[in-house]
Structure 1
Amino acid sequence: MANTVEVMKLSGVFGGSQAQEFRQTISELVQGGTQALLLDCADVTFIDSSGLGALVVALKTVRAGGGQLYLCNIPKQMMMLFELTSMDKVFQILKDEAEFFSLNPPPQEARD
C-alpha cells in the first residue's frame, strides 16, 4: 500500500448529499493508502450538522487507517461552529496548505 499525501478542496454548502459522497471518497482514499489528508475549506460557504458529522466520520476513518486528517483555510462561520461544538480541539487545524506540506512532505520517488 502506498504512503500518500492528498489535498481535497471542499466548497459550497457542505452537508446533505454532498456529505454522503464525501464519506465515500474518504473511504476510497484510505483504502488506496492515503496517510495524510488535508481538507481545504476555503470555499465552504455553509456547513450543516450532516457536514459536521461527515467530518467526524472522516477523521475516524483516516485514523483507523493509520493516517492523519488536517483542515485548513477554515472560514469564520465554520470556525465559530467548530468552537461552539469544541471540534476545534478534536481536529488538527492548520493555517494553509503550505503549513500542511511542511509537516507532510510528499513522498519522493524511490531512487536506485
Structure 2
Amino acid sequence: MRPNVTTIQPNNILDGVTGAVFRQEVAAAVEAGADIVLVDCQDISFMDSSGLGALVLALKFIRAAERQLVLCSLNQQVKTLFQLTEIAQVFQIYDNRQHFEQSGLLGS
C-alpha cells in the first residue's frame, strides 16, 4: 500500500514567527493521516535558528506519531546552517522532489 504523503512548502523566511505556523501545518498533516510529511524547502529564502528549531520540533512530533519527516530542495543558506549545526544527519534529505519520488519510500 502506498503511503499517504503530504507536502508542505514554506516560503520566504522560516523563523520564530513563521515556524509556529509551520508546526501547525505539520500537526494538521499528521492529524489528516499523512504517513510522510515532505517539506519542500525550495522557496525558503532564509532560515534562522528559530526556523531550524521549528524543523527539529516538527521532527520530534512526527517521530512520536510514528510517521516520517523528509526534506528536499534545500538552498545553499539552509545547507550551510545544517552543516554549521551538524543537524543534517538527523534529517532525511533529498536533492529535490524527483529524487524523493525515486527513493523507494513511496513503495510500488
Show the counterpart of 2:56: 56
Instruction: Give 5+ residue unaligned stretches, structure 2.
Output: none
Q: Distance in 1 between matches of 2:4 and 2:90?
A: 23
The aligned amino acid for 2:10 is: L
Contact persistence 1:30–1:61 (CA under 8 A): no
**Residue aligned with 1:60, SS:** helix
Give 1:91 deviation, angstroms.
0.6
CA RMSD between the two structures: 1.6
| Alpha-carbon separation, structure 1, partners of 2:95 and 2:45 | 18
State whether residues 5 and 34 of structure 2, in contact with CA within 8 Å, keep that contact through their aligned partners in structure 1: yes
8 Å CA contact 1:7–1:37 kept in 2: the answer is: yes
Structure 1-normalised TM-score? 0.86
* Mapping of residues 65-76 of structure 1, within 5 Å: 65-76=65-76
For 1:8 and 1:28, how far apart are their aligned partners in 2? 11
Structure having the larger proportion of residues in strand? 1
Equivalent residue of 1:10, what SS? coil
Deviations 1:39-95 (A, max 9, x none): 111111110111100000111111111111111110001101101111111111101
1:105 paired to 2:100: no
Q: How does 1:5-16 map to 2 (within 5 A)?
A: 5-16=5-16
Once residues 107 and 39 of structure 2 are traced to their aligned partners in structure 1, the CA distance between those partners, rounded to angstroms, is 16
Secondary structure at the residue paired with 1:57? helix
Confirm or deny: 8 A CA contact 2:26 2:58 kept in the other structure: yes
- The one-letter code matched in structure 2 to 1:49 is S
Question: How many residues matched?
Answer: 105
Runs of 4+ deviating beyond 4 Å: none
Paired amino acid for 2:44: V
How many Å apart are 1:105 and its aligned residue?
A: 2.8
Match of 2:45 in 1: 45
